[in-house]
Structures are given as structure tokens and as C-alpha cells.
Structure 1
């Protein structure tokens, strides 16, 4: 009877799981948006003027800025925006083909959002071309925006005469306002003050441009140079490990055989039970069905909440999922106490920090390489974790703190207990250690429900599994997982700002 119930729950779990994965196939990745945010930072930093910047070492900063922004930042930005525009148009065509009743409402929302993004990209591409003195091409981009667009059409009405004809219609400054990101807004205002012959205002906006350029330089340093430096060290360390493995084999750090396996007192049915009931059924079916009903009873609608409320909702949902999963895990293995040696070990007085930091340094270049290959495979599709979009848009300290608690504390604790603490060792009863690491990493990646993230997350999962296998201390993969998520959140915060 128990196995029949588990079989039914498995089918019930697989339906929404596969549906979510298929749905993610038709969703855009966050990577394209991140690249545009970083492009905007590059554009800001490229405005650095060593002659007008108030700094003690303008030459040194100018040299670093040139290295970070490249020889032709405008040309690079135009290519990047044009690439995202092209993929967005492809997405729109795909959405417009989806006219089934079941997906009509969701698809209609995607169509509206994608059309707005396309108009935004046309507008910004026009400003980029205009700033690069290609006004005819700029006008082509602006004329692609429908005249009935309430957000961007009014901007086009003042941008065309401002950049092409050299005059400023009435209320130009008010219309420009704060609708665009820093670089685009500053370029428009600088052109406006040139056209209206306002030297004092022009001097102020140019000073503001230099301040923004210096801030962008330091932000780019954090999101590029620091990870790159750590990644180079990690890549060198990885090469050392491979050479050591080739020469020493069984004595090498990368070597893992049956001697590193765990003694597992339970069979595959317990593994099945913990993950189907505790992880997937509760997390993918029970909570998604129960929470909307509960919120509706209190007349609450999360779609209309601010980012702070959405962050708190994400934390509460994840906490409930984690508690339920751990309760099922504890109940499933309770009768096998006392557990054999090395199960769920947490050893504070150990070298877990070395394993965690070392694993993080190796993970950076490996996941980056896999991600670059992955982008070529998915071409901007495949979906992304929804929390990434929220964190990217969140410039609220309370919301960011809540996201940090969720992603950098709770997720490493819960997911490492489930995937490395329980699943990986349990699998060593049926397969070699490396096979267990690979399978647990694959399930770890699938559990995040985004097709485009499977390969990068599986790579991270393999490193997490190896670190745990060698350290036999849950603190090591927890530290690595926390560092990874913290670095991601920090990058999102900097790019979003």
C-alpha cells in the first residue's frame, strides 16, 4: 500500500515538475537582462574624463577604465542591445503562436511585457546611435515604436527634434524626467543643455556624469575584476589538481573510490519517499496549491505587493518547504538510529573552511565556462529562478536582507542536508561514488525548475558533492553554497543599482 501511494504521488509530482520545466523553456533567461545592466555600467564608466575627475590618480583610473570598457564601448553596447532586441522579437513571435485557451491569459501578459521591452530597446538603441553621431539610424529605431505607446512615444516626440534637428520642444526637460537609466538620462540632458545653450546646467550635468562614471568604475571592479581574479586562481588550482590526479591517482585529492562511500542502512524506497514526499510533493504541489487559497481567505494578492512584501513571502514559503522536507526526512530515517559513522556530520573544529573556499574558487571558472556554452545552446531562452528577477530589481535594504537570509543561509542549510547530506550518501549503496555525485548533482539542478540552469547548476552540484565526499563535513558544502549565492546576490544588487 505504501508503494502504491508513493507511485501515485510520484505521478502527481512529475506532472507539475515536467510542466514547470517545459514552461521554463518558453521563458527568457535573466542573463540577457544582466548583460544589459552590465552594458549600462560600462557606458557610464566609459564617460570617465581624467581631466575633469576629482581623484588623486586620474591616469591610473583612466587606464583601468579603458581596460574594463574596451576600445569601442558604444559599438559594443549597440551590438548587445541589438542582440537582446532580436531575441525579444523571436520570443514575441513564439508567444503570439500560443493561442490555446489554457495559456491564453498568461500568454497575453507575456506578449504585453515583451512588446514593452521591445519598445524600450528601440528607444535606448536610438539614444546609443544618436550619441555615436548616427542620427539617421537612431531615427529608424525611434520610428519603430508605435505612436500609441503611452510610455515611450512621448519620449520619441522630444528625442527626434533634440538629437536630429537640434532644437528642444516645450517641456522637453519634464518629459525626459527619470524614465531612463542613468547613462541614457544623462546623455539626453547633456544634449538638451547644449541645444538650449545653458552652460551652467551643462557644467552640472557633466559633473554628474563624472561622478556616475567613477561609481560605475568601482562597481565594475567588484562584478568583474574581483571574480575574475578569484576565478584565475581557481583555474590554476584546478589544473594543479588534474596534474596531481594524472601523476598520483589514488593519492590525489580528486581520487574517490568505494573507500569514501557511506554505509547506508536504508534502501531505495526511503530515498524515494524522502524526495517525492518531502521535497517535490510538498514543495511543488502542496504549498503552491494551499498558499493561494490561504492568502485569498485573507483577501491578499501577492502580485500587487511591493518588493519587500514579495521577499518576505519568498522567505516564508521557503521556510515552510524546508521544515516540511526536514520533518519527512527525520521521520523516514528515525528507525535507523543510531546512524552509521559520517552521516550528517557537522565538525566545527575541522578544515571545512579550506574545502568550502577552495571549492568556491574552482566553481567560479568552471561554472562560468559551462554558462557561456549554455548560453549558446539556449539562446536567451530556458527561464531563470524568479528570485533573481526580484533581487535584481530590489534596491531596498530590508528586501535585500530578506533575500540574503533566504538564498545565502536557508537554501544552503536545507539543500545541502537534502542533496549532499542525505541523497548523495544514500546513492553510494547502489552506485560508485562519482556516479552518486553526478546523479545527485543532476537532481539538484532539476529541482530548480529552469532548463537553462540545469548545466551550470549541475556543474556547481558536482563540485558541492565532491567537496562533501572528501571533507565528510556538511559545513564545507554549506559554506561553498552560501558563498556562491551571496556572490550572485551581490552582483545582482550592484547591477540593479
Structure 2
């Protein structure tokens, strides 16, 4: 057996392993609740904070006073507490169904009681459900549904008795029950318990109730003053989070309509037809494409790096589940840079013998046209991906996992953590992923497929590489749009800029939502 044959056998083996590993990861993501639902709750919590703004609730002699009722209805709706409770209960119902489904799947597969991963998944979902019930009870109590709130909290206490991580919930719920039944068993630790285990509007309303019961008017006045400042800031954040996407949606829709009209009129001379159907002169074959994709990307990302990081964690006796937000972000940043460096190195050596490359390969040039394509691609992606995401949500419900960096972005208040997240998502990811999936993969596939086929296949692989089953469809659409921009502009800067703008918009929104829920 010669060296070439051995290399091909190894490539086949690695391909089988990579496909198997990716399939398992996608299946595991199906067992996870979607992070999108948690993100929506963060926005709901912002709305709850905004309800406390006195300009929404008090009459004013100001000539512009009639603006505030209209603004209130637009931002928080007519019944914000009722709407918030409904959203919390819907998520709770969905998560409970997911939990039951996972247990049912494990029973059918004969894995019940034997799989630590299944147990961890169900316990994680159970913890989220407990958090939801804690807050649902406060929403019920604030709407005068005291008996319903007490029933919700009592059921939570009963569940917490059988959980190793249920102590904090047990203590916090006990304090809330005492507050809303006006019992005299409130202790000096009640305030500490509320501050430690509740946040945002829920913490404020619980502390307000505590100060009322304990007859502490000075503390109550200070709390209300603090909440007014927070509520005013939250209103500004809601305006920012709500208005900017709508503006982008409108501009993107108009841009799509305009470009489509121009395509119908000018046909091959239209902007959308620029470089249409023109592939790349690819000097290498499918084997080189496979080496870069399987060895340089999937094997490094899903096999080599986890083993290396696992050895490092074991060597320094680090428990990854106990890392704080900053440590998680630093860990993710180092891991991502490691993947990028190894993958680009393998890419370089895989195609080195074909240097110098034909024109248009890995072209990166700052021009007005490249910037226009990047910004235009981003704006047109907004309405298209939103529509697909709404359809996708109906298909998947609340299962399918999501990007693990999103909850970290929501919870992180550390400026260094935010900076590292920005570097990872908005600079490193666009450069590396566009280089691999558009610069190399898409262009290489045009040797075997028409341009539209290369755009589709590279977009699908790009989506699968993110290992989130619920996001495969919208990410495929986004990947195809990135590929469309690259094939038309023939400039990696365009797709990198579009990618960076997309990730930046998502990350900034998460930062805003997270900062309003403290």
C-alpha cells in the first residue's frame, strides 16, 4: 500500500468520524431548549422594568403629556404583566414537554437511569422551569392573584425538596410566601435572599413588598427612586432595541424590492446579475477540498481541540462547569483562535503546491464597491432571515439548542468579557469563517457545481458547522446570502463585512437586553 492510498484511507476514516461526531452533536442539540426563548424573556423583563416609569403612569401638565400614553402602548402594550405571565407560562409548558420528551426518548432507547447526559439535560431544564415558576408567582401576586401565586410557589417548594440544587429556590420561595401572606416570620436574611436570587423587576417588586410589610418608608422611597432611574434607562433601551431593527427591516425590504425590479428590467445588466454564473478556476480536486474541510475544520474543531482542551483542564484541575462568565468567554476566545490558526495552517499547506493561484482567489480589497456589497447584503439579509426564522420557530418549537455564546453575552456585565466576545464574534469569526466557507469552499465547489449549487452547498455546510439543529435553516439562508455577496463582489472583504455587521447587530442587542435585567 503506497503513501497516497494510506492518505486516502485515513481521509475516509476521518470523514466517517467527522460525520458521526457532527450527527451526534446535532442530535444532542435537539435535546436542548432553544436559547431564543430565553432571549425573548430578557426583552419581556425589560418591558416589566419599563412599566415602573412614572411618566407612563402619572398625569403631567406638560404640553407633550399625551405622547407618553401612546409611547407606553407601543413599547409595553396595554397589559404588560398579563402578557409577561403568558410568555413565562408558555415557555414553562414548552420546556416541560421537552423534558418529558427527552425522558420518553431515553425510555424507548433503554437508556433511562444510565445516561448521565440525559439526566443532566433534564435537570438543567428542570432548573429553568423552577426559575420560571418563581417569577410566575410574583407576576400572579402583583396582579392580585395571591392564591394562584401561593399555589405556584407551594408546588415549587415541593419539587425543590427532592433536588440537590433546590435550596436557594426553597429559601427564596419561603420568603415570598411569607411576604404575600403577611406573616411575622420574616427574618433579617429575607432581604439578602431576595437580592441574591432575584433580579430586575422581580427583585424590585419583592423588595418593595418587604419594605412595605416591615414599614420601612425611607428604604422604600430610595428603592422607588432607584427604580425610576432604571425604568427611564430601560425605556431608552427598548426604543433602541425596537426601533433599529424595524428601520433595518424597512430599508432591507425596500432594497430587495428595488433590486428585484432592476433585475426584471435590466436582466443581465442589473446589479444582482453581476458576475452571475462565473465560477473560479480551481486547480485542485475534491480530495484537497475534503482535506481542508474534514481535517482542517471538522476534525480540528470537534476532535483535536476538545481532546487538547480536556487535557489542559485535567492538568490544571479546572472544572469547566464552575467557570464564571469572564472565564467562559476567555476559554471560548482561546479555543476559537486555536481552531482558526490550525485550520488556516492546514489550508495553507494543502494548497501551497498550487501557488501562484489563479486571479480572484482569496481576493481582499478595500473599495467602495466592496463596502456597498457588504452593507447591502446585510440590509437585505435582515428581512429574509427574520421571515425564515419565524417559520423555523414554528417548525422546531423550543427544542434544538442554540449558540452557547448567547446566554453568556446576556449575563455578562464585565467589560473585558464583552470585549473578548466582540473580538470573537465580530472580528475573528467573520474573517476565519469567510476565508474557509466562502473564500475556499464555495470557490472550490464551482469546479463541480454551478455557482448557485456551490452557494447552496457551502451555505448548508456553514450552517451544520454551527452544531445547532434549530438554527440550520436560518443559518443556511444566511450562508447562502453571504455566498451570493461573495460571488457577485468577488471580494472576501464584502462577505466579511456583511458577516461582521450581522454578528455585531446580534451581539449589541444581547448586551442591551442583558444590561437592562440586572
1:130-145 aligned within 5 A: 130-145=141-156
TM-score relative to the length of structure 1 = 0.94
Shift of residue 110 of structure 1?
Answer: 2.3
> Given the alignment of the two structures, is residue 284 of structure 1 paired with residue 302 of structure 2, yes or no?
yes
- Please state if 1:104 is matched with 2:115: yes
Partners of 1:398 and 1:309 in 2: how far apart?
10
Residue 349 (structure 1) aligns with = 367
Specify the alignment match of 1:129 in structure 2.
140
Partner Cα separation in structure 2 for residue 229 and residue 370 of structure 1: 19
281-290 or 412-421: bigger deviation: 281-290
Distance 2:359 2:69 in 1: 58
Task: Decide whether the 8 Å contact of 1:178 with 1:185 is kept in 2.
Answer: no
Matched, 1:272 2:290: yes
Query: C-alpha displacement at 1:256, in angstroms?
Result: 6.1
CA contact (8 A) 2:29 2:467 kept: yes
Q: Secondary structure at the match of 1:342?
A: coil
| Cα offset, 1:165, TM superposition | 4.7
1: CA distance, partners of 2:185 / 2:388: 49
Query: 2: distance between equivalents of 1:261 and 1:200?
Result: 73
Q: Pick the aligned partner of 1:212 from 230, 234, 241.
A: 230
Does structure 1 conserve the Cα–Cα contact (< 8 Å) formed by 2:441 and 2:458? yes
For the aligned residue pairs, the C-alpha RMSD in angstroms reads 2.3
CA-to-aligned-CA distance 1:235-291 (integer Å, 9 cap, x gap): 111122222223332222223676532222222222112101111111111111222
| Partner deviation per Cα, 1:99-154 (whole Å, 9 max, x = no partner) | 62896222222232222222221111111011111222222211221342311222
Which of 31, 42, 50 aligns to 1:45? It is 50
The count of residues paired between Structure 1 and Structure 2 equals: 497
Matched-pair contact (CA < 8 Å) for 1:168–1:192:
no
Distance in structure 2 (CA, Å) of the matches to 1:391 and 1:442: 26
Determine which of 360, 375, 378 is the counterpart of 1:360: 378
Distance 1:404 1:140 in 2: 43
- 1:23 has 2:28 as partner: yes
Partners of 2:274 and 2:450 in 1: CA distance: 9
2:89 is aligned, of 66, 82, 93, to 82
Task: Give the superposition deviation at 1:416.
Answer: 0.3
In structure 2, how many angstroms separate the alpha carbons of the residues matched to 1:474 and 1:56? Answer: 53
Q: CA deviation at 1:59?
A: 5.4
d(CA) in 2 for partners of 1:193, 1:58:
31
Decide whether aligned partners of structure 1 residues 207 and 465 sit closer, same or farther in structure 2, where only a CA change above 3 A counts.
same
Equivalent residues of 2:400, 2:469 under 8 A apart: yes
How far 1:410 moved relative to its partner?
Answer: 0.8
Q: Distance between the aligned counterparts of 2:42 and 2:203, measured in 1?
A: 15
Which one of 302, 319, 325 corresponds to residue 301 of structure 1?
A: 319
Question: What are the Cα deviations for residues 444-482 of structure 1, in whole angstroms up to 9, with x where unaligned?
Answer: 000001100111111111111111111111111111111
Provide TM-score, normalisation by structure 2.
0.90
The answer to whether the aligner puts 1:437 opposite 2:455 as a matched pair is: yes
Identify which of 167, 172, 175 aligns with 1:158. 175
How far apart in 1 are the matches of 2:167 and 2:316? 35
Matched, 1:451 2:462: no
Q: Which residue of 2 aligns with 1:192?
A: 210
Show CA shifts across 1:381-411 (max 9, x none): 1011222222222111111111111111111
Query: Residue 258 of structure 1 contacts residue 432 of structure 1 at CA under 8 Å; is this kept in 2?
Result: no
Q: Is the contact made by 2:276 and 2:488 (CA closer than 8 Å) also made in structure 1?
A: no
C-alpha separation between the residues in 2 aligned to 1:196 and 1:146? 24
8 A contact 2:113–2:119 mirrored in 1 = no
1:34 aligns with 2:45: no
Structure 1: 5+ residue stretches without partners: none
- Are positions 1:382 and 2:400 aligned together? yes
Aligned to 2:339: 321
SS in 2 for 1:177: helix
Kindly state the Cα deviation for residue 94 of structure 1 after the two structures are TM-superposed: 3.0
Question: Residue 337 of structure 1 aligns with which residue?
Answer: 355
Structure 1 residues 42 and 168: CA distance shift in structure 2, 3 A: farther
Q: CA deviation at 1:18?
A: 0.7
Shift of the 356–258 alpha-carbon distance from structure 1 to 2, 3 Å rule, reads closer
Structure 2 residue ranges without an equivalent (≥5): none
SS in 1 for 2:168: coil
In the alignment, is the contact (CA less than 8 A) between 1:162 and 1:168 conserved in 2?
Answer: no
Q: Distance in 1 between matches of 2:128 and 2:99?
A: 10
Q: Deviations over 1:148-192 (max 9, x none)?
A: 231122233232342245877343434423321110111122223
Distance 1:419 1:158 in 2: 54
C-alpha distance after superposition, 1:43-100 (max 9, x if no partner) = 11122211499x9976545532331111111111011100111112122223434362
- Compared CA separation, residues 57 and 412, structure 1 to 2 (3 A): farther
Report the Cα distance in structure 1 between the residues aligned to 2:336 and 2:72, rounded to whole angstroms: 41
Task: Check conservation: 1:315, 1:406, Cα contact below 8 A.
Answer: yes
**How far apart, CA to CA, are the structure 1 residues paired with 2:185 and 2:339?**
56
**C-alpha separation in 2, matches of 1:284 and 1:56:** 62
User: Hey, what's the Cα distance between the residues in 1 that align with 2:180 and 2:447?
Assistant: 70
2:400 match: secondary structure: coil
Paired with 1:103 and 1:312, the residues of 2 have a C-alpha distance of 33
Distance in structure 2 (CA, Å) of the matches to 1:113 and 1:283: 25
Rounded Cα–Cα distance in structure 2 between residues aligned with 1:166 and 1:307: 38
Taking structure 1 as reference, are residues 153 and 482 closer, same or farther at Cα in structure 2, changes over 3 Å only? same
